[in-house]
Amino acid sequence: MIEKSTQCACTEEMQKYGEIRNVIDLYRDTEGSLIQILHAAQEIYGYLPLELLEIIAVSLNKPLSEITGVLSFYSFFSTKPRGKHTIRVCLGTACYVRGGKKIIEALRKTLNLEIGETTEDGKFTFEVARCIGACGLAPAMMIDGKVYKQVTPQKLTSILNAYMD
């Protein structure tokens, strides 16, 4: 009989919760550390589901409303599973004026999803950024932190193909 060395999904999830508890323990007594804890938890778990937020709230002896208030204020936190790659289209003034809205419309059609959603195959999460600091390259977008300059709807297919693994 051949024995497989696969790890149960529940064991993997418990490992992640253990890592998050270690982060909480590390920052527990540091004033103003909630954002760092949420960042680390999202990095470890991939997103911030309600169950995880409840653990953080109890562990820090804070009301859940305070945790969710911080979470909803900052756009880089997500309560839904995210795609393998995150696409952020800049809609700062320069990018908006130079065609950022056209990039958004083309991505909506190409990926068949709305802003804030993730493709069914889990490859892409689609977001908008107010500014990515690339005004001279407008319209610009980022995928996983890599900036693409002077993007046009016609360039999107070749840009996205680089992430089709």
Please determine, for residue 6, whether its predicted confidence score (pLDDT) is greater than 80: no
Tell me the pLDDT tens digit for each residue of 97-139.
Answer: 999 999 999 999 999 999 989 999 999 999 999 889 999 999 9
pLDDT number for residue 7: 56
> Edge-to-edge strands of the sheet including 146-148?
124-129, 85-90, 141-143, 146-148
The answer to whether 76 touches 111, Cβ cutoff 8 Å, is no
Task: Name the pairing type of β-strands 85-90 and 124-129.
Answer: parallel
